Structure 1
Amino acid sequence: MTQSTNTNPSFQLLLTVTEQTILELGCNKATLQEIMNRTGLSKGAIYHYVKSKDELFSLILEARMQSVNEKFHAAVNQAKPGELIGPLQVITEGIIPQITDEKDVSNIIFVYLLSRRDDPRIQEILQRNHQYSLELAVKWIQIGQQYHVIPEHLDAHTVASSFLLYVYGLRVQRMIVPNASGVDGRQLFEFFYRTLRVT
């Protein structure tokens, strides 16, 4: 997702209306035709951004991660030297609602795409989304290392992979057992804070 696309009003309208449509109708009934009707955008305008509704759904997941990323960078810029708490809180506060609320649009999309992973196009979308999330997580850890708040000996890729494994696990758990007493934002924050402060 490019910066120009990210801030384009038509693109933002497309994402917002698609989210609302999914919440109202579910992923199966949220057709591109329904989204065109609701946005007033032409088929050509939508196909300028995506080739399918599944790709559009994936862009919503990316936009959610990009929003967390932007808030993370803002927190890093405001943090005192050597401070990890603020930026890490931004990440956990941005991600926890997405993965623990089974009615959150990102969970609805995730389950929908995961249920269709036998389709090679969907598998590619899932892999691309995973790679995007992994690259962001690696960058977050590397920034922490550059600011000397995360030990340099920690392998950023390994820690980021563990973070995503934990997040995916929580997401799937909440889909299977919505009322399970699980990890909340504070607990996730403390877990990753302890992990990243290991010396």
Structure 2
Amino acid sequence: MDNSSYRRLLQITEDLIREKGCQRTTLAEIMNRTGLSKGAIYHYVSGKDELFGLILKERTKEVNRKFQQAVDLENPELENPLRAIEKGTQHIMDREDITNLIFIYLLSRQEVPTVSRILKEVYQYSEQASIAWIEAGQQAGVIPSQLDVKKTAAMLMTYSYGMRVMAMVSPESFTLTSKDYYQFMLNVLEGKKE
């Protein structure tokens, strides 16, 4: 499958999820709207859940790309990369965001081995990206070297996952903003207590 078919597959799947939700979106509808055969789709994924996971992974990779672009090794500072993360994660507080819809759907199906694997892969990728972000900041001298990288990454992941779940489960009482997340990250990465 060429890159345009791959992008079309992801975009049309996202469109269908927005229209129908994850549960009611079928592989048959995806094939019909994309014009791709089952074999063409199966070149990338083994089914609907894996396709949804692929969308989640692609969105996570996009946040990482934006962070990497914001890192200026010539003029190291913490603010620009953190602002890139803040902007890249604003969607976690949006109840209608496609990644949140997919994330909650996949969580509800985590007893399925394929789905469990997908969730672990997304988490591991996000965790590794967080570790790389923190290490880059330490190497640039803008994040204290004594900060425990793995624990700090786990703390940031827990906070962001918690925000995502809260925004989906109880949007009427959810009051945190992306600015709150930015401030939390800044405090943690500068070694301050909240």
Which interval holds the TM-score relative to the shorter structure? over 0.9
1:177 aligns with 2:170: yes
Displacement of 1:32: 1.2
Find the counterpart in structure 2 of residue 119 from structure 1. 112
Corresponding residue to 2:76 among 82, 90, 98 = 82
Paired with 2:165 and 2:68, the residues of 1 have a C-alpha distance of 28
Q: Which residue of 2 aligns with 1:166?
A: 159
Within 5 Å, give how 1:21-100 maps onto structure 2. 21-77=16-72, 81-97=75-91, 99-100=92-93
**Contact 2:50/2:114 (CA < 8 Å) preserved in 1?**
no
Could you tell me the percent identity over the aligned residues? 45
How well do the aligned residues superpose, as a CA RMSD in angstroms? 1.7
After superposing on structure 2, the runs of 4+ consecutive aligned residues of structure 1 that deviate more than 6 Å are none
1:121 Cα deviation from its structure 2 partner? 2.1
* 1:181 CA drift (Å): 3.6
- Cross-structure match for 1:20: 15
Give the structure-2-normalised TM-score. Answer: 0.93
Specify every segment of 5 or more residues in structure 1 that has no aligned partner in the other structure, as ranges.
none
Hey, what's the Cα distance between the residues in 1 that align with 2:88 and 2:173?
Answer: 20
| Alpha-carbon shift at residue 80 of structure 1 (Å) | 5.5
Select 1:157's aligned residue among 147, 150, 154. 150
Give the deviation of 1:140 after TM superposition. Answer: 1.0
Distance across 2 between alignment mates of 1:81 and 1:152: 18
Amino acid at match of 1:57: F
